[in-house]
Amino acid sequence: METILFLSPAEAGSPLSKNALEALATTKQLADALGTTFSVGLWGDDPKVAADGIASCGATKILAVTGAEFAQPRYATDAAAAEALARTDGATIVIGPSGSRWNRILAGVAHRLGGRADSHVTGLSAVEGSPVIARWYYRQRMESLQTRTQRPWLLAVESGIAPAWQGTPGAATVEAVACTPPAARSKVAGIEAQAADLQTIRPDANLLFVTGAGWTKKQPDGQVKVEQAQKLILGFLGLSRASLGSTKSLVDLHGEGQATLTFLTHMNQVGQTGSTPRHAKGLATCCHGEEPHTVGWRFIGERRAISLDANCGWARGKADVLYVADAFAVVEKVNELLAK
C-alpha cells in the first residue's frame, strides 16, 4: 500500500507558507483518494509554530529536523534534512511545494533515495488505486496524466492548483529526526529585495493586469503617450495591488531601443515564451497577441480585455468579457474610482 509524506522547510516562528499549505491540501486529497494515510516532515531552526498551525490536518505524525544550520536555504542542508525525513518515514510518495528550496533538492534527494522525481505537477489523483500525476506540455497547451512504478516517487506540486489547507491550529506532537548537518560551503549573507512598490510581479494577487504594445503605439489623436501610459499603469497597480504581466512585443521594445514602459522586464512576460501565472482574474489591455491570450491566460479564472479593436479574434475568443474601448480612458476612470 502507498504511504505519503508531505515535506516542507519551515521558517522559525511562522506558519507554513500559502504555497506549502496548498501542497498539503493536495497531499491530503491524494491520501483520501488512495484510501491511505499521510505524514508530515518539516525542517528549520524551529518548526514548532509551523507544526502547530497544521496540528489538525489529519497527518498520522509530524516529523521534524531541527537546528540553526537548517534555517538557511542551501542545497547541502536542505537535501540532508529532506533525505533524513524521507528515510525515517519510509513513504512511497513524497510531496513538496514547488519553490526554490524544494525544486533545488528534488532530483538530488530522489537519487539518494534510489527513487524518481517529477516537478511541475499540477494535479494528483488516484486511478484504480494507483497515484496519477498531471503535467502540462508545449507551453501549457497539452495536459498529460502519468504514473510511475519506481518508488519512492518525489513530486514538486505547483502553486495555485488547490485552495490552501485551512484548519484549527493546535499543540502538535513533533517527533524529532536526527540529522547531522553536512559541511556547508555557502551561507546566506542577507537578502536584497526591491522596494515593495517596484515589485510588480505578485503571484498572490487576485488580479493579473496584462499590458500590450498598444500602450506605446500612436493613438487615434496621432500622439504617442508612453509617459501617460506609465503613470496610469503604475497608478492602477498601486491602487489595485494587481500583478503585472506583459506581452512579448511590449517587453521586447526595450531591447530594440524604443520608448517603452521602464518598469517592465522579460520577467513580466506571459505566454508561450513567458510565464503562465495563476490568478483568479485577468484584465488584458491594449493587447492583441495569440500567445498572451491563449497560453499566458491558460490558468486565469475570469478573463476580461480592453481593446480598441472590436475584431481582435483572440480577445473575442478568449476573454469572457471584451470592452471595446480606449484603455487610457478606462484605466484613468478606474483609477479615479479606486482612489475614492
Ligand X SMILES: Cc1cc2nc3c(=O)[nH]c(=O)nc-3n(C[C@H](O)[C@H](O)[C@H](O)COP(=O)(O)OP(=O)(O)OC[C@H]3O[C@@H](n4cnc5c(N)ncnc54)[C@H](O)[C@@H]3O)c2cc1C
Q: Tell me which of 7, 156, 292, 318 binds ligand X, using CB under 6 A.
A: 292
Q: Tell me which of 247, 260, 268, 335 binds ligand X, using CB under 6 A.
A: 247
- Provide the minimum distance between the beta carbon of 254 and ligand X in the complex, in angstroms, as a whole number: 13
State yes or no: residue 248 binds ligand X (CB under 6 A).
yes
In the three-class reduction of DSSP (H, G, I as helix; E, B as strand; rest coil), residue 64 is classed as strand
Q: Is the Cβ of residue 118 or residue 290 nearer to ligand X in the bound state?
A: 290
Q: Quote the distance between the C-alpha of residue 192 and its chain's center.
A: 21
State yes or no: residue 289 binds ligand X (CB under 6 A).
yes
Task: Please name the residue ranges forming H helices in the chain.
Answer: 18-34, 48-53, 75-89, 100-113, 226-240, 248-255, 290, 313-318, 327-339
State yes or no: residue 252 binds ligand X (CB under 6 A).
no
State yes or no: residue 309 binds ligand X (CB under 6 A).
yes
Largest CA distance in the chain: 71
Q: Is the Cβ of residue 42 or residue 306 nearer to ligand X in the bound state?
A: 306
Q: Which stretch binds ligand X (CB under 6 A): 38-46, 93-101, 150-158, 326-334?
A: 326-334
Q: Is the Cβ of residue 109 or residue 306 nearer to ligand X in the bound state?
A: 306
Using N-to-C axis directions, what is the helix angle for 327-339 and 226-240, rounded to 10°? Answer: 40
Q: Virtual CA dihedral for 188, 189, 194, 200, nearest 10 degrees?
A: 0
**Distance, CA of 10 to CA of 210 (rounded, Å):** 33
x/- mask, ligand X, residues 254-283, rule CB under 6 A, reads: ---------------x-xxxx---------
State yes or no: residue 98 binds ligand X (CB under 6 A).
no
State yes or no: residue 332 binds ligand X (CB under 6 A).
no
Residue 272: CB atoms within 10 Å: 18
The x, y and z cell numbers of residue 173, run together, are: 506532537
Q: Is the Cβ of residue 36 or residue 269 nearer to ligand X in the bound state?
A: 269
**Distance, CA of 336 to CA of 236 (rounded, Å):** 9
Q: Tell me which of 30, 31, 286, 322 binds ligand X, using CB under 6 A.
A: 286
Asked if 277 and 309 count as a contact pair (C-beta separation under 8 A), the reply is no
- Provide the minimum distance between the beta carbon of 331 and ligand X in the complex, in angstroms, as a whole number: 9
Q: Virtual CA dihedral for 65, 156, 183, 10, nearest 10 degrees?
A: -40
Q: Which stretch binds ligand X (CB under 6 A): 19-27, 59-67, 253-261, 302-310?
A: 302-310
Amino acid code (one letter) for 234 = L
x/- mask, ligand X, residues 176-215, rule CB under 6 A, reads: ------------------------------------xxx-
State yes or no: residue 250 binds ligand X (CB under 6 A).
yes
State yes or no: residue 229 binds ligand X (CB under 6 A).
no
Number of residues counted as binding ligand X (CB under 6 A): 30
State yes or no: residue 116 binds ligand X (CB under 6 A).
no
Beta-strand relationship, 62-66 and 142-146:
unpaired
Q: Quote the distance between the C-alpha of residue 205 and its chain's center.
A: 11
**Distance, CA of 336 to CA of 68 (rounded, Å):** 49
State yes or no: residue 236 binds ligand X (CB under 6 A).
no
- Residue 157 host element (H or E): strand 153-157
- Applying CB under 6 A, the residues found at the interface with ligand X are 212-214, 217, 219, 247-250, 269, 271-274, 286-292, 296, 306-309, 312, 326-328
